[in-house]
Structure 1
Amino acid sequence: MRHLLLAATLALALPPALAIDGVVYSQAGHGAIAGATVTSGGASTQTDAAGHFHLPAAGPSVAVRAPGYARRQLPYAGDGAALRLELAPFQAKALYLSSYGIGSDALREAALALVKQTELNALVIDVKSDRGMIPYASTIALAERIGAQKVRTVKDMPALVAQLHQRNIYLIARIVVFKDDPLANARPDLALKNRQGQLWRDGEDLSWVDPTRQEVWQYNLDIAEEAARLGFDEIQFDYVRFPDAPGAQYAQPSTQASRVDAISGFLGAARARLAPYNVFVAADIFGYVLWNTDDTAIGQQLERLAESLDYICPMLYPSGFKWGIPNYRNPLEHPYDIVYRSLQRARQRTGLDGARFRPWLQDFSDYAFDHRPFGAAEVQAQIDGAAAAQASGWMLWNPRNRYSSGGLQCEGNDCAAPAQRAE
């Protein structure tokens, strides 16, 4: 009883936590920013249509972010004064580096040279790869137990993140979620099965885990939170879907409703888990998801995805549009229109600003039609399509991590003549 009375007395002696109010503005003079996320003292809220926000209590700092702007964190005096927070416009223009690419001196330095010479300002880095590997020394015990730490290509990820940030590079942590061969093999109870009760495998002979299982969610959210603590600016979930091939058996009946609930539920849980870190949350989706009103049989339904994401990242590779789009039956001949019209379709369906979308663009030879190379003209056409649709930048994908300056705008004194694109 004495301890309870003492605690009550101390609580009464402490000053009440002051509420925090303010407005978030664009540094570029575009007025107040609606829908910005403001975080302080472990709580977060979003600004209203006039850019205003209110938090019931404040911590020692205030963090704020909004799609199309650079995130920001600043100390808070705690005096209850209204805040005027300004954000600088920012569009990520990125290259992808796999877990091997970021660990290779040659591939990494070639990418960094392009960042220095051109309009590029960001990198997408595998934090959990297509094969389920985490390329640095993770503190997550399950990663070690299932063999996801067998191949470590980055000796010191915190130091690397710090070095890249010193170069003003925006860093995106790519996490492959439900395609997870190590976890499926170590925990068959979490894995997808075939009709014979054996592990289901995709066309690459890799196993997947069940998107409806909470233990699978927890593991991937642990990885996402670790990436946020490491200092990444954005967490990007890939393979956040059901397999696009038949034959897999799930823990519960696979219906459109159950699939959409699983994928949207995971992304909602990710947003809640990452809220204290002021990192952007993104997900990669199939290009046809922008055109299909159902879930494309993989759990990705556009309007539901938008509920939990800062950035929606459709893979708008012309080679991925096997059946074309309306009025464009040969996508390879129309890279600009594939990107522009797909993004316009997404904006019309969702009512979202273009800043909520950042597409993946094709920087590799065609694999679906005539196997033509994609050169500077095709890359530039896709970039122009994204810009015309007012997307928040773009990301170039080459699975071999070999890029050139072809199709990119040269900047600064280090500009080099456009080089032939590597395939």
Structure 2
Amino acid sequence: MPRLPWRPRWTIAAVSAAAVAAAVIIPLGVLDEPDATISGVPGHPVMPTILDHVRITSPHGLDGLTATLDGEPLPLRPDGDALKPEAGPLREGVHLLVVSPPPGPFGNADPVRAAFSVDGTPPELRISPVEPVKHGAEGTIRGIAPGAVEVSAEGQRTRPGPDGSFTLPVRAGAGTVTVVARDEAGNVATDEVAVALRHPGMKAVHLSASAWASAELREPVLDLVREGRIDTVQLDIKDESGQIGYASQVPLAQEIGANTGLYDASAALDLLHEEGVHVVGRLVAFRDPVLGRASWESGHYDRVIQTTGGSAWSGGYGDYSFTNFAHPEVRAYNIALAEEAAELGFDDILYDYIRRPDGDVNAMVFPGLTTSPEESIAGFLAESRDAVHQHGAFQGASVFGIAATRPEQIAQDIPAMSQHVDYVAPMVYPSHWGPGEYGVASPESQPYDITARSLADFQKLAEENGRTTVIPWLQAFSLGVEYGPDEIRAQIQAAQDVGIDSFLLWNAACRYDPSALPPT
């Protein structure tokens, strides 16, 4: 009996872009075994490399199969039991792939067609600044990713809303997080987001290196800790004399003789941490007569702020007092000390004298300065931040009270500095304000009023970047007016009334009245 000729039965099947799902057969002829199949063309927009995943098969052999793409001949190459198109990335838009079988005994067979859309543009991704997250808490990443079907970060995934908005949880201490937005075609957009730890706050007193070395001054402070009156001790790393309280291993510190060895840093930190104390290391940055004198005498004049006449600036602070904040070696020296202290175990690095000298800026020369002094100071904090954070410490900056309204006077732009610190510590000592400041007739005699009003101003400035805490320095010493427990408590209450439940008490003599600090 003569064999009947086969009749063409061409079909097309569309499967996932990865070609791992079973082909969905869409019959165009007789419902029987298909004579050819195009697989690897999904029904949604695809990336420009879609043809890398396309396979053309036929149960009757591959000989004679031809293809066109948008009407132009498309080369095919053998790939096992299939043919694969040879084409590079495609332009965006709609394309038509046509596979034609060879003519059969009854004439030309119907071609197989697959239309698809190419999308090679990543989705838009915009992320809002992330609020700092407290230890043990969970934060939130918020943003918008129009066109994305999924946004992910740190193993967490979500599908954006109709307007592209999304939220993702983020853990405390995550550091820098990569957020990925993926669209239906598989295009991705990424962004790096900094997730800062929110400072836990503090109730602290200042101790100099020599005070820590003295049992007479150290033990009463430890008693304040044990009685629950404070939870933090601020211990000097490098003070305004330029001397370092312990034996630093930073080469320049050793070279210029800055070390005093007044205390053993590791032993002091171990003792304080065993008591459950948070330890803030105060690092006086640019008021540094030790580095200033050593630099000048060794011919490194540019490390020192100068007068227009070419001599070292003193301005009433003493010879070689202010080092040049714009000089890379001066900046590197202070950052090296900060990094060393953070590695030793200081919980915070709190910079002081992070400014230019007060006085007529036109009478000063800052060799190498290419920006404004305010920008340079903020830039230093930006340089230091990563070095401090990578060792798990917080970074703070002590600032003048007048910086809120007169940033150029000492080169402390609070909003700019706040971008690069975990907290600002304004020195709002009542004795340092003139009559009439913030509408307060006699600030030193009105500690509550001047503290509340000045700190409210700092709160607004620090909040401009949405992530910086304000922790004020408060006055625990007497100058023109006798300051006892009532005056200290008035300042603490003023801070609390504007939403600040933290403070650092300053007394250069390092003596503190327990009655000013009720147990918490």
Query: What interval of TM-score do these two structures reach, taking the shorter chain for normalisation?
Result: 0.7 to 0.9
Given candidates 186, 191, 215, the residue that maps to 2:329 is 215
Q: Name which of 328, 333, 343 aligns with 1:229.
A: 343
- Note if 1:175 corresponds to 2:283: yes
Q: Distance in 2 between matches of 1:406 and 1:397?
A: 16
Question: CA offsets, 1:209-250, max 9 Å, x none?
Answer: 111111100000000000000111110000000001234322
TM-aligned CA distance change 1:152 to 1:347, over 3 Å: same
One-letter amino acid of the counterpart of residue 218, structure 2: R
**Are residues 1:158 and 2:266 paired?**
yes
Q: Is the 8 A contact 1:354 1:389 kept in 2?
A: no
Instruction: State the Cα distance separating 1:198 from its structure 2 match.
Output: 2.4
Q: Tell me how far 1:303 sits from its aligned partner.
A: 0.9
In structure 2, the CA distance between the partners of 1:104 and 1:32, relative to structure 1 (3 Å rule), is same
Deviation at 1:409, TM superposition (A): 0.7
TM-score between the two structures when normalised by the length of structure 1? 0.74
Q: CA deviation at 1:354?
A: 9.4
Query: In structure 1, the residue corresponding to 2:245 is in which secondary structure?
Result: coil
State which drifts further: 402-411 or 229-238.
402-411
**CA drift at 1:346:** 2.1
Q: Distance in 1 between matches of 2:167 and 2:486?
A: 40
Return the match for 2:294 from 155, 178, 186.
186
Q: How does 1:19-418 map to 2 (within 5 A)?
A: 32=139, 51-52=169-170, 55=177, 66-69=197-200, 91-149=201-259, 151-154=260-263, 156-188=264-296, 189=301, 190-206=303-319, 207-246=321-360, 247-252=363-368, 258-292=372-406, 295-351=407-463, 356-366=469-479, 371-410=480-519
Quick one: which amino acid aligns to residue 287 of structure 1? Answer: G
Structure whose residues are more often strand by fraction:
2
SS at match of 1:171: strand
1-side partners of 2:134 and 2:410: how far apart?
37
In 2, Cα distance between the equivalents of 1:310 and 1:139? Answer: 26
Is contact 1:281–1:310 with CA below 8 Å preserved after alignment?
yes
SS of residue in 1 equivalent to 2:397: strand
Deviates more, 1:167-176 or 1:204-213: 204-213
1:391-420 CA deviation, whole Å, 9 max, x = no partner? 251000001111111321135xxxxxxxxx
Q: Distance in 2 between matches of 1:129 and 1:261?
A: 24
Q: Deviations over 1:112-151 (max 9, x none)?
A: 11222242011111101110111111111111111202x3
Given that 2:199 and 2:469 are in contact with CA atoms closer than 8 Å, whether structure 1 keeps it comes out as yes
Secondary structure of 2:351 counterpart? strand
Q: CA deviation at 1:33?
A: 6.2
Change (3 A) 1:355 1:198: closer
Secondary structure at 1:127's aligned position in 2?
Answer: strand
Which structure's residues are more often helix, by fraction?
1
Give the direction of change, closer, same or farther, for the CA distance of 1:27–1:191 in structure 2 (3 Å limit): closer
Task: Report the CA distance shift for 1:66/1:187 in structure 2 as closer, same or farther (over 3 A).
Answer: same
Distance 2:221 2:141 in 1: 35
Which amino acid is the alignment partner of residue 198 of structure 2? P
Contiguous gaps of at least 5 residues in structure 2: 1-130, 143-153, 155-165, 180-194
Residues matched between the structures, number: 341
Q: Find the aligned partners of 2:289 and 2:376 in 1 and give their Cα distance.
A: 20
221-230 or 199-208, which moves further after superposition? 199-208
Distance 2:177 2:496 in 1: 35
Conserved 8 A contact 1:347-1:354: no
**Whole-angstrom distance in 1 between the partners of 2:306 and 2:134:** 50
Tell me how far 1:282 sits from its aligned partner.
0.1
Structure 1 segments unaligned to the other structure (5+ residues)? 1-22, 41-47, 58-63, 70-90, 412-423
Please tell me whether Structure 1 or Structure 2 has the larger radius of gyration of its CA atoms: 2
CA distance in 2, matches of 1:354, 1:344: 16
Distance (whole Å) between structure 1 residues aligned to residue 134 and residue 340 of structure 2: 30
What amino acid is aligned across from residue 67 of structure 1 in structure 2? R
Q: Sort the Cα spacing of 1:138 and 1:347 in 2 relative to 1 into closer, same or farther, 3 A.
A: same
Q: TM-score, normalised on structure 2?
A: 0.61
